[in-house]
């Protein structure tokens, strides 16, 4: 996909989550999306799925992918010359950065997972993307590693993240301190 399409995808994704935040409903029409993104219907139809029911997953994947890349890039800069922090500290920092990125979209993510069917779909997408994130996180932190061990660690980190994600959605605080405390506890366990 060329850079223009990627930029348009991100603009549409941003517009989609902005609409969710304002409307407090997961139903977003193509017309609203076009108006919010200030883009023609023809351009939008080239990018988004034909079925509006698929918008939720389509934009969720774009959002998670972008936020995960940002978190990993930030972590890579943070640990580039770090010879003091342990692997545990670096993993905790990576997962914490991820939650910080998600925090800006917390309300929208809650709207997307409003009922049990939606929550299962969102959970499965986040679970799949989380495996990719944790695998990339381990590659960044531990470099060369046995593929089986890395996969097992990724799955364990996925479980830790999933447990913390529940705290993230249920916590009504205006910060993520409680989530980070639980994340640290789950990770140490």
Residue 97 has pLDDT above 90, yes or no: yes
Categorise residue 40: left if φ over 0, alpha if ψ from -120 to 50, beta otherwise. beta
Q: If you search the block for the tokens 């996180």, which residue do you land on?
A: 137
Residue 66 has pLDDT above 90, yes or no: yes
Axis-axis angle for helices 147-170, 177-188 (nearest 10): 140
Integer Cα distance of 122 and 109 in angstroms: 9
**CB contact at 8 A, 94 and 136:** no
pLDDT for residue 93 = 93
**Is the model more confident about 126 or about 64?**
64
Average pLDDT, the chain: 84
Q: Lowest-confidence range among 98-102, 154-158, 165-169?
A: 165-169
Report pTM: 0.86
pLDDT for residue 168 = 86
117 confidence band (pLDDT: 50, 70, 90): low
pLDDT for residue 162 = 81
Task: Kindly state the average pLDDT of the residues 41-48.
Answer: 86
Q: What percent of the chain has pLDDT over 70?
A: 90
**φ and ψ of 71, to 5 deg:** -65, -45
Among 22-31, 69-78, 176-185, top mean pLDDT goes to 69-78
């Amino acid at each position: 996909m060329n850079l223009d399409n990627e930029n348009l995808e991100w603009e549409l994704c941003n517009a989609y989550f902005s609409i969710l935040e304002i409307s407090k409903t997961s139903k977003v029409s193509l017309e609203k999306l076009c108006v919010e993104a200030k883009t023609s219907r023809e351009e939008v139809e080239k990018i988004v799925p034909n079925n509006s029911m698929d918008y939720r997953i389509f934009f969720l994947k774009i959002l998670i992918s972008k936020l995960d890349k940002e978190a990993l890039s930030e972590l890579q800069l943070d640990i580039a010359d770090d010879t003091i922090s342990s692997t545990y500290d670096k993993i905790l920092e990576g997962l914490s950065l991820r939650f910080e990125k998600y925090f800006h979209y917390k309300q929208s993510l809650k709207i997307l997972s409003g009922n049990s069917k939606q929550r299962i779909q969102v959970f499965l997408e986040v679970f799949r993307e989380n495996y990719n994130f944790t695998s990339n996180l381990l590659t960044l932190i531990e470099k060369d590693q046995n593929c089986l061990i890395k996969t097992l660690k990724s799955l364990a980190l996925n479980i830790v993240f999933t447990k913390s994600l529940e705290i993230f959605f249920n916590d009504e605080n205006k910060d993520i301190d409680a989530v980070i405390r639980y994340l640290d506890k789950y990770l140490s366990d």
